[in-house]
Amino acid sequence: MIFAEATPDAQSFLQFWLAISLISSVGAAVVGIAAFFNARRSQKREISFSREFATQDELLHVVKDLQRVEGEIEKVRTEMKQDRQVIMAAADARHEKTWERFDRLMDSVTRLSDRISTSRAK
């Protein structure tokens, strides 16, 4: 009986957890609403309409970068073509080996079939 008196009433325990869940849900809602309004604030973007043109050095630098990138792309394309040729050659070799094995198997099956048919004929 001593333990029964020490444990809290089930109704008060339920009310305690309901109060805790209510407080936490209200807090979460407040945080969510605050985050929503903070996210809606956007920075103002400034656009300048001044006439600042690129210099010839900057344009030459861009052209050199483009040529370098095009050269690297050509290298990658060449490597891809070589890799494709190697892969296709290996696939052709595997294909030929598979057909050779299949032909040997068919020859063996034909010989076995001939033996069976001759043994039945006797």
Q: How many CA atoms lie within 13 A of 35 on its CB side?
A: 6
Cα separation, 114 vs 108, in Å, equals 10
Q: Tokens 């807090």, residue?
A: 27
- Across the chain, which has 122 residues, the per-10-residue mean pLDDT values are 64 88 94 81 67 84 94 96 95 96 94 86 70
Compute φ and ψ for 55, nearest 5 degrees.
-80, 165
Alpha helix (H) residue ranges in 7-55: 10-40
pTM over 0.85: no
Which tokens in the block code for residue 118? 């001759």
